[in-house]
Amino acid sequence: MKILLINQAVSCFIAFLKVSLPYFKQKYNYKYLIAMKKLKHLSVVAMAGMMLVACGQNKKEEQVSSAQETETVTVADETATSQVQDTIEVELNAEDTMKFDKNEIRVHAGQQVRLTLNHVGKLPKSSMGHNFVLLSQGTDVNAFATKAVQEGKAPDFEVPESLLTEVIAHTKTIGGGESVTIEFTAPEAGTYDYICSFPGHASMMNGKLIVE
């Protein structure tokens, strides 16, 4: 805007000089003409100087506004962090068809996770038992599932004690119509596998706990 106004002012002034110079030529002597030419040069230099100053000011304004934007973003980040709840409720449903209704659960590191597993099927736990087993990072899912069957005890196939070192949290085994709730602290950021360790279920019933 400022530059536009200055440009207009410069061109107006030059146009005025062009129109008025022949008049001055006739009316005054040569010395005066030289003086006018000098004045023209001076005015162009002055205008260029003013334009540079204006540009400088624009740059400063840009810097100020970008600094303000950064500040706004920081404030938004702080708000987002403070909105992370201390406790997160997670509902996970398991069916008679050997399925979890979620294959991805997202939580934040350090958050208290209150997880409820609902067996929404009808079959008893002796034939269609379900549980939720959250495995430590780096645990081989298939190897763990195999050991859980080998070392587990019928009919419930609770997670055997010998495998608890590879487990972050787990529920007991439940049958159709039952529910169970556990609480655990979300581990450090990363991706963790969860499974139902009941015999033959892990390949169908599994998912990822993503800790942000």
Q: How far is the CB of 98 from Cu ion (least distance, A)?
A: 6
Q: How far is the CB of 196 from Cu ion (least distance, A)?
A: 3
Q: How far is the CB of 130 from Cu ion (least distance, A)?
A: 4
Nearer to Cu ion, 196 or 209 (CB): 196
Q: Which residues pair with 194 in a beta bridge?
A: 134, 207
Number of Cβ within a 10 Å radius of residue 85: 10
Q: According to CB under 5 A, which residues from 149 to 208 bind Cu ion?
A: 196, 198, 201, 205
Quick check: helix, strand or coil at residue 84? coil
User: Residue 81 and residue 83: Cα distance in Å, rounded?
Assistant: 5
Q: How far is the CB of 129 from Cu ion (least distance, A)?
A: 6
Number of Cβ within a 10 Å radius of residue 146: 13
# of chain residues touching Cu ion (CB under 5 A): 5
Nearer to Cu ion, 102 or 108 (CB): 102
Nearer to Cu ion, 175 or 187 (CB): 175
Q: How far is the CB of 84 from Cu ion (least distance, A)?
A: 31
User: Residue 3 and residue 65: Cα distance in Å, rounded?
Assistant: 20
Nearer to Cu ion, 130 or 211 (CB): 130
Nearer to Cu ion, 68 or 203 (CB): 203
Instruction: Match 């000089």 to its residue by tokens.
Output: 17
Closest CA to 144 of 182, 207, 199, 181: 199
CB of 198 closer than 8 Å to CB of 157? yes
Q: According to CB under 5 A, which residues from 107 to 146 bind Cu ion?
A: 130
Chain CA centroid to CA 199, Å: 39
Binding residues (CB under 5 A) for Cu ion: these are 130, 196, 198, 201, 205
